[in-house]
Structure formats: structure tokens, C-alpha cells
Chains A and B, each alone.
Chain A
Amino acid sequence: MTGPDALAVSGLCKSFGGVQVLSDFTLTVPAAPDTSVAVLGQNGAGKTTLLNLITRLIPADAGRITVFGQDVLGQPARYLARHGVGRTFQSPRLLLDETCLGNVALGAMSAGRRDGDPAGRAAAALDRVGLAGQAGRIAGTLPFGTRKLVELARALVIGPRLLLLDEPAAGLSAAEEHDLAAVLVALRASGITLLLNEHRMALVTAVARRVVMMDGGVIVFDGDPAQAMASPVVRERYLGAGFAAPADESGPA
């Protein structure tokens, strides 16, 4: 492994009122090629809070977060986008009156390189997520799954080295999930480090090389997807005793 870790979180604490969501949370994601980490955990386990803390949308109570060696806790949210951290939201946040191209170009104009034409880079990003033919469509008229892909393209257009995805497969049909997995594997192979919160185990096994599980504000499991399926901790606290692994559990990994 060369260079600093893609993401290093240590001693991170966050509480909302009396609810301690993260307590002394620690997670390190090395900047190795072909890295993708899936974060599991029940609703309320703090997965989205973790992403919001990393991207500085909410302030941390205590702890330290570095991204590619840069301490980010003193920085505003826009710093992350301008230094190679892209993110998506569980429910896509798009300009619904704008075209797909306009939405993605907004990302290119805001955090990407200032040279070159934003529309061209936006079109290229849409092509990467398989939406080349949809560039002229108004975002508000698109199905939910397609909106999530548009948002993914907007995160891609800023040229991220670390991509944080909040439940990318939530609300998607099986076919859309299948296409999404293909897109994410291609992104992983292109050198982008992925960190995804996800409940859909089929997507997790297809995309993630490493699985961590959050419970009670800390990580209670850390291993590869196959180990996660077999882990008594994960089965008891998250998957449920009757869970059957997806048919192709080895995945492409």
C-alpha cells in the first residue's frame, strides 16, 4: 500500500440530544486499488450520520477524520467535493426542473476542473452510468432508479477518488439493481474507492470487497462478504437467523 489512507476515522463521537449515535467510532479504508467497503447496520445504526460527518454536512462532537491524509474536520462541506470526495444521498437530491445533463453539469461547474466544457464532461459522466441517451430528459420526469443514477453521475463528474454512496440500491427494481452493480464494479475497477451504506445483500456481495457492520455506535464486524454471511454476530443482529445468502454469493470479486 502506498500513500495515506483514503479514509481514516478515529474516535468519532456524535450524539443528537440524548441519543449517542457514534461513540469512539474508528474505521480505516486504505487507498489500495479496487477497494470497496460496504457498511451494514440496522436503520438508526448511524450509517447516514457517518457519511454526513465525513462530508461535513453536520459537525462532529469529537474525533478525527482524514481523507487521503488531509484532516477534514476543520473544513467546510464544499472542501470535500473539491478534494476528491463525491457522495450520493439515499433519496436523490436533484434539480427536478433541470435536464439530466444540467444536473450533472452543475457538479462539473462547481467542483470539477475549471477548464474544459462542463457539458462535455457531464455527458461523459452520464455515459459512465449508462444514461448517455437520457441527457436531455427532465430529471423530475424520470423514475426513481434513474434519478439515483443521475445523482451518481453528478458525484462522478467532480472526479472523485473516494465515493460515498448512501443506500444506492434502496428503492431500485431488481433490473436496476443489477445495472447499478455493474456500474459500481466498473467504477471500483477504475480506481475509485467506494464506501457504501447498503441493505441489499445481493448488491453488497456483488460490489463490496469488505463488509463492516455498525451497531451501538461502533463496528461489531469487519470482514469479507462471505465471512459476513457466516458471522454469528451479523446473522443475529442484522441478517436474521433464516437469511439465505444470494445465489451467486462469491460475486465477481
Chain B
Amino acid sequence: MRMSVPGAPQPVLPRAAGDGPAAARLPGHLRAARTDVAVLAVFAALAVFTALHGSDFATTTAINFGLFTLLVASLQLMLGFANQPSLAQAAVYGVGAYVAIYAEAHAGVPVPVAFLAAAASGALLGLLIALPLSRLREHFLAMGTLALQVILSTAFVHLTGFTGGVNGEAVPDSNLNSVPVLIVIFGCATAAIAGLNHLRLSRRGRQVLAVKADETMAASIGINVRMLRVTVIVVSFAMAAGAGCLFTETAGFVSPDDFTLTASLAVLVAVILGGRSVTWGTLAGAAAYSVLNAESTSLPGLSDLLLGIMLVIVLGYLPEGLTGVAVPAAWRARLHWPAKQRPAKQRPGS
């Protein structure tokens, strides 16, 4: 083989049509903001409908949907961005709720301060847990967070001075079925989804996605893999605990029954139901579960059964989740839809 070397490297492939200077740009935040507006419109429409409907049932259902969306978004950050599963989101939600009640009832702080205290407690818990658990991957991390859920569930029952035990803890000045609180919760849910939407495009978000795809590659280009894995858990737990504070604002009292393993599993199932889109998947998964849950309260255990059946159907027949089938291919590019998943064919050890 003859290896003559010209002065300048030549393009290996001919230029594809449409690849011009315009192609040499990363997807921008401005374009993605259209998704934010669409999500905001969905929540605004739902809030208006609820307010016009006026029934306690509608308001409670909408509030539960908003809170659940926040939990799903918090797990989407861990699982969707970083492939770090958690089975403890409901327990962290509980920690935030109890901290908020304590801060308001015993320290007498205003609600925004209680919210920050709850989020900070979640972040601190996340940091304490992440330092050992961030070394665990996938199933092992799921088991580690399962242990956290079980420990916290037990603690909620037995730390009666702090949580009121199985009888629950009354919430001072709560606003049952209040539309203003609903609007605050929907605002937070919109902000959380928009945050995930823009995280995808940011430097840190791209690095987290790189860590998810290939830690070796990420380290070889200068990414601090462990720091990002810890940070994702810290932020996710802060989100879940902050949602716990919002929950106390709409609940007369809270008890360990609100923060069970079953609730954590529901969050996980909602993320899987939603699919790979971090924005619409979060919304669709949370909505699907909330509708199921609201429609099946007449028969105890029915929602769990339906959830299980849906999970089997999704895992078996719709591996990309609800959002993987609901959107025609032609819309995908316009909506920044994630490309179809391709199996990564990368030989180990090379």
C-alpha cells in the first residue's frame, strides 16, 4: 500500500446535503424553551379546569398529580439522566415533609424557609447516602436505596417525638384543597420539568449523560465521574424533599403511610411508563399513574394491580414507554425527541 501524504487532510466523506455552517451548532436553549411553554400550557389548562370545576375531588386529584410529577421528575434526574435508580424517593419525600412540619410548628418559620429547610435536609441526606452508594451501579444502587427506604420507613414509625409515629403528625395551618397552593405546586412541577429540559443541553447535563453512556470515556476526557454521580443524587433528593414540604401544605396531617415503599415503586413505575423523553415522559408517566390512582380508589389494591399490569405491558411491548409510541416520527425532530435507542456496540477493554 502506498502512503503518500498530501499537505492538508482531505474530507473522508463527501459533504452531506444540508450540512453547512448552520449544522455546526449545538441545540440551543431558546429552541428548547418551546417545550417549556408547552408544559406550562398543560399545567395552566389543568389549573384553570380544576378551578372552574371547583370540586374537592378535582382539586385533590390535581394536587396529587402535581406532587407526584415532582417526585417523578426527581427520579427522572437520577434514572433518566444518570441511570442511577432509586427506590427511596417516597422516603426522602417523607423526610422533607417531617422537616417542614417541624420547622413550621416548632421553629415557627414561614413556609418558604420551611421549604428551603426541607430541600436542604434532602440534599444533606443525599450527600450522606451518595458518598458510599455512588460506588454502586444499577441493580446494586437500587438495592442500596431500597435499604434506605426500609430504614426511613421504620424510623418514621418509631421516632414518635419527631413524626408522631403511626398516628401521624398534624400540620399547622394547612390549606386543604386550596387552588393557590395547587398553582404553587404546578409552578414547581413546571419548573422541575423545564429544568430537566434545559439540563440536557447544558454542560453539566451533557457530562452526566456521558457518564451514563460510558464512564471510562467520560473520565478520559476530563469529566469528574464520581462528583457528578454524587451531585445527581443530592439534587434529586433535594427535589423530592422539597416536594414533601409542598405536600404538608395541602395535607391535614401526614403519617408513615404516605411515604411507603409502594409509593417509591409507583414513582419508579411512572418513570418507566413515561419513557425516554425527560420532559414529556415525566409528564405522561405521572399523569398515567395519577389517573389510575384516582379512578381506582373505590377498591383497595386495584391501582397496584393495574400498575403492575401496565408495567408488564410497557416492558414487554413498549420498551420506549408511552412517549415512545405517542409521537409520529415526523414530529420527533421538531420536539427534540430522543432518537430511537440503538444498542451500543462497544467492546469492553478496548
Contacts and interface: CB of A to CB of B under 8 A. Distances in A.
B12 A105 contact: no
Interface string B212-251: 0110111111111100000000000000000000000000
Query: DSSP class of A's interface residues: helix, strand, loop or mixed?
Result: helix
Interface stretch (B67-75, B84-92, B153-161, B339-347): B339-347
A171 B79 CA distance: 35
Nearest to A78: B222
Interface residues of B, number: 47
A106 B221 contact: yes
Given A77-B220, A97-B339, A206 B347 contact: no
Given A105-B26, A106-B207, A130 B9 contact: yes
Contacts of A145: 12
B4 interface: yes
A233 interface: no
A134 B19 contact: yes
Contact of B24 (A93, A135, A149): A135
Given A81-B220, A90-B350, A133-B19, A106 B3 contact: no
B326 interface: no
Contacts of B210: 95, 106, 110
Given A106-B207, A205-B3, A130 B12 contact: yes
B330 interface: no
B1 interface: yes
A109 B206 contact: yes
B203 A109 contact: yes
Interface centre among B3, B11, B207, by most chain A C-beta atoms within 10 angstroms, is B3
Query: DSSP class of B's interface residues: helix, strand, loop or mixed?
Result: loop
Given A82-B222, A96-B342, A181-B5, A101 B25 contact: yes
Interface in A171-199: 174-179, 181-183, 185-186
Contact of B350 (A91, A96, A123, A136): A91
A182 B222 contact: no
Interface in A32-73: 48, 55-57
Interface residues of A, number: 71
B221 A133 contact: no
A138 B339 contact: yes
A48 B348 CA distance: 12
Given A97-B342, A131-B12, A136-B24, A110 B222 contact: yes
A174 B3 CA distance: 9
B23 interface: yes
25 contacts: A87-B220, A89-B217, A91-B347, A93-B214, A96-B342, A101-B26, A110-B207, A111-B223, A118-B203, A119-B25, A123-B24, A130-B12, A132-B24, A133-B14, A134-B16, A134-B19, A146-B12, A179-B10, A181-B5, A205-B3, A246-B1, A246-B2, A246-B3, A247-B1, A252-B5
8 closest A-B pairs by CB: A111-B222, A136-B23, A81-B222, A133-B15, A77-B219, A93-B217, A206-B3, A90-B350
Interface of A: 48, 55-57, 76-78, 80-82, 87, 89-91, 93-97, 101-102, 105-107, 109-111, 118-119, 123, 126, 128-138, 140, 143, 145-146, 149, 154-155, 158, 166, 174-179, 181-183, 185-186, 202-203, 205-206, 246-248, 251-252
Interface of B: 1-6, 8-16, 18-19, 23-26, 203, 206-207, 209-210, 213-214, 216-225, 338-339, 341-342, 344, 346-347, 349-350
